[in-house]
Amino acid sequence: MPKRDVQYMAKQRKEIASSAFRCLLKNGLHGTNVRDICRDAGVSASTFYIHFSSKEEVVDEAIRDVMISYDATSRFTSPTPITTWEQFIEYSVKQIASLRKPVLRKQVLLGYEIISAMRDRPADYPVFVERFEETSQMMSKQIQILQEHHEIDLKIDTLIAAKLMNMLFISTIYRVSIGSYSSEEEIRSELELALQLILGRHQDKTNEGVVGQAGLEPATKRL
């Protein structure tokens, strides 16, 4: 048996977490048990419990590892500042629409199954709570940029608006993953309307931008 040094144990723990994720994708949260994970990882139950105290703990770590490699937090925060409403909507829609890919859709649906389980025992999966808070903080910075460039007229606290926006994205992503939208344009239409309400972007301001791009004055200014 290999010597149980720190490096070996860390590698073994990571392999068990990877096996857990494979089992979750194949069988779902409720269809996966410790026996399945041990079989996939090629370890005994006693070895599993050296590293993890429960299925919930290994699931949390498996999801955490995938989120880090996938860089989930940055998916909805542009690497460069977005200063206009149109750029903000375009970026958000593109990121959400990209999750229609089959390989990502399966991961998204798994995430929602775990989120559903969290309603009764939220402490079992802290990674989702942590990621929600982290993403909300990142989104609040983007909201501040839009506010500074007079693209929105925010009437509520920035962090509250960011959390509302985060929840909107979560619900929209779920609808994308189950095929509720027939086109990217349909995603855009619903998402933009909801974001206008949350962030204080008035419909007439949006129309002014569109009309202005066409070289025309808004109808209200001609009257």
Does the residue 123 lie in any domain? yes
Concatenated DSSP letters of 75-129: GGS-SS---SHHHHHHHHHHHHHGGGSHHHHHHHHHHHHHHHHHTT-GGG-HHHH
Q: Which long-range contacts (CB under 8 A, 24 or more apart) does 193-200 make?
A: 194/168, 195/89, 195/92, 195/165, 195/168, 198/161, 198/164, 198/165, 198/168, 199/143, 199/146, 199/152, 199/154, 199/161, 199/165, 200/152, 200/153, 200/154, 200/155
In the chain, which stretches have pLDDT less than 50?
A: 1, 72-73, 209-223
Residue 157's pLDDT is 96
Is residue 206 located within the same domain as residue 96?
yes
d(CA 150, CA 215): 21
Both tokens of 97, joined, read 């629409």
Residue 223, pLDDT score: 38
Q: How many domains does the chain have?
A: 2
> What's the confidence (pLDDT) of residue 213?
44
The answer to whether residues 81 and 158 belong to one domain is yes
CATH code of the domain covering residue 139: 1.10.357
- Whether residue 60 is contained in a domain is answered as no
**Which pLDDT value is given to residue 193?**
95
Question: Would you state the pLDDT for residue 203?
Answer: 61
The pLDDT of residue 81 is 80
> pLDDT at position 135, please?
86
d(C-alpha 151, C-alpha 87), whole Å: 11
pLDDT on residue 205: 58
Question: Is 12 a domain residue?
Answer: yes
**For 123-154, what is each residue's pLDDT tens digit?**
777 877 888 888 899 899 999 999 999 999 99
Kindly report the pTM of this predicted structure. 0.72
49 and 146 in a single domain? The answer is: no
Domain that holds residue 41: 6-53
Predicted confidence at residue 68, as pLDDT, reads 59
